[in-house]
Amino acid sequence: MARGWESKSVEEQQAEASSRLPKRRPPQTPEQLAEESKRQGLFLARQRVLQQLEVAHNAQHREMLRQALADLDGQLSQLG
């Protein structure tokens, strides 16, 4: 009887462990992968522009960076 109880405990532990595994996302289409790649690239470019804007001293350069930031924000908003 004790052996059967241990088996149930192991089964419950295995079921619990498998329920804690992260759920897999369905495979993405090539278009979805390309869009995600573009979004990541735009986000990284935006971060770089923000970093440059923090240290820029020249007014014209700062204005150019602000325009680039606005353009990147527009592209990101179009992607959704």
Q: What is the pLDDT of residues 10-67, one digit of tens each?
A: 777 777 777 776 677 788 899 999 999 999 999 999 999 999 999 999 999 999 999 9
Domain edges within the chain: 35-80
Model pTM score: 0.64
Q: For residue 3, what pLDDT is reported?
A: 55
- Where b means 16+ CB within 10 Å and e means fewer, 7-18 reads eeeeeeeeeeee
